[in-house]
Amino acid sequence: MAETAVLFIDMDYFFAACEELRRPELKGRPFVVGTHPEKDRFRGVVQTCNYEARKFGVRSAMSVTKAFELCKDLIYVPDDWRYYEEMSAKVMQLIRSYSFPVEQDSVDEAAVDLGKTGYDEAKRIGEELKGKVNAEIGLPCTIGISYGKYLAKMVCDASKPNGFGIVTEKETERFLKDKAVGKLPGVGEKTEAKLKSMGITTIGELARVNPVTLIDKFGSAGVDMQQLAKGVDDSKVVSTEETLSIGRQSTLYQNTDDIVVVGKKLRELSDEVAREAERKGFRFKNVGVMVRYEDFTQITRSANLRHYSSSGDDIYAAAMALAKGLVSERKVRKVGVRVASLLETKGQKALF
């Protein structure tokens, strides 16, 4: 029987690539996509940057001030979430056109369960998809293929940018052994530091260590982590719904520029949305807010949580963080909260 294959696709420098697509004059010149409007860009941080900016040492999450210190010819582009979400929807639609189960993991990443297609067919599909994303949407991406979701993601990460990689069962050990443990999906900085304090820095070392010491430190998560380090990856692609999102909007009693008042409304809406998500059996990873001003212009922003969640508190915290930047000068008349990147609660698998 043919092997099971999972394909993982990740867009390369997604926001920067989207900007280059509509502003080709940016190509070949160092630029960053920042979190603040042009007029107060120096208060912002770098969301992403292109390769030319990277050559100067500019990185994501760096302050814009620091980025300009490193590269004085840097071009600043304020982020435009509505546009990126539109482009993301196009990419996801193309991926879904193959009719395999798709798990969208973020605005620009997805895992696709190709079933028992075998690696030859998986390679054909992957190359075709990569070509289509390039030709039909105009954006670069990287694809990784393996027999489990986590491994496929790692293959994808290792093949970036504009790459294509396949790692089969036979090749897994060699692929994994010298990589840093932090490269394992689900192993965050804290876990990595803890492992390091135990003298474990590579995946190969993690695979060989006595499991008892791992259980001691990490409980059963230690066993799962070691299994993955050994190349045992039974992670499932869990289909996320295509356009499904759950949201609520509400007009304020009075137009206001007071974040406390807006916050109270966001709190109510967050709890309502959480209850509805629970009733419908979904967890969510993406939280969005909509702010409509008294002149009826509106802005939407969204952000991903670190994990799938079902909590109204998580929605509220994310919504408030997003809303803070939107409520200051102009008065607000209506706000909305929504969650997306939904995951059905059955069949959930916990990470370490």
Applying CB under 5 A, the residues found at the interface with Mg ion are 10-11, 14, 108
99 vs 251: CA distance, rounded Å: 40
Least spacing, CB of residue 175 vs Mg ion, in Å: 20
Nearer to Mg ion, 91 or 203 (CB): 91
Among all residues, which ones are annotated catalytic?
109
Q: By C-beta, is 107 or 273 nearer to Mg ion?
A: 107
Cα distance between residue 182 and residue 167, in whole Å: 19
Minimum Å gap between C-beta 249 and Mg ion is 30
Instruction: State the Cα–Cα distance between residues 224 and 351, nearest whole angstrom.
Output: 9
Structural element, H or E, at residue 291:
strand 282-293
- What Cα–Cα distance (Å) separates residue 149 from each residue in 30, 111, 182, 291, 298? 34, 7, 17, 36, 38
| Cβ closest to Mg ion, residue 19 vs residue 108 | 108
CB of 197 to Mg ion, least distance (A): 31
| Least spacing, CB of residue 149 vs Mg ion, in Å | 16
Q: What is the dihedral of CA 276, 282, 283, 284, to 10 degrees?
A: -80
Angle at Cα 136 formed by Cα 133 and Cα 141, nearest 5°? 20
Q: For residues 48 and 191, which CB has a smaller minimum distance to Mg ion in the complex?
A: 48
Q: Distance between CA atoms of 265 and 188, rounded to whole angstroms?
A: 34
Report the residue number, 11 or 289, with the smaller CB distance to Mg ion: 11
Nearest to 222 by CA among 238, 209, 233, 231: 209
Nearer to Mg ion, 14 or 84 (CB): 14
Give the residue from 272, 217, 237, 186 showing the smallest Cα distance to 348.
237
Q: How far is the CB of 158 from Mg ion (least distance, A)?
A: 14
Task: Measure Cα distances from 74 to 7, 28, 30, 167, 346 in Å.
Answer: 35, 11, 5, 38, 47
User: CB–CB of 11/49 below 8 Å?
Assistant: no
Q: How far is CA 91 from CA 61, 81, 97, 121, 129, in A?
A: 25, 15, 10, 21, 10
Q: Which residues contact 325 (CB under 8 A, 6 or more apart)?
A: 35, 36, 301
Please report how close the Cβ of residue 84 comes to Mg ion at its closest, in angstroms: 11
Residue 159 CB contacts under 8 Å (≥ 6 apart), including other chains? 142, 143, 144, 165
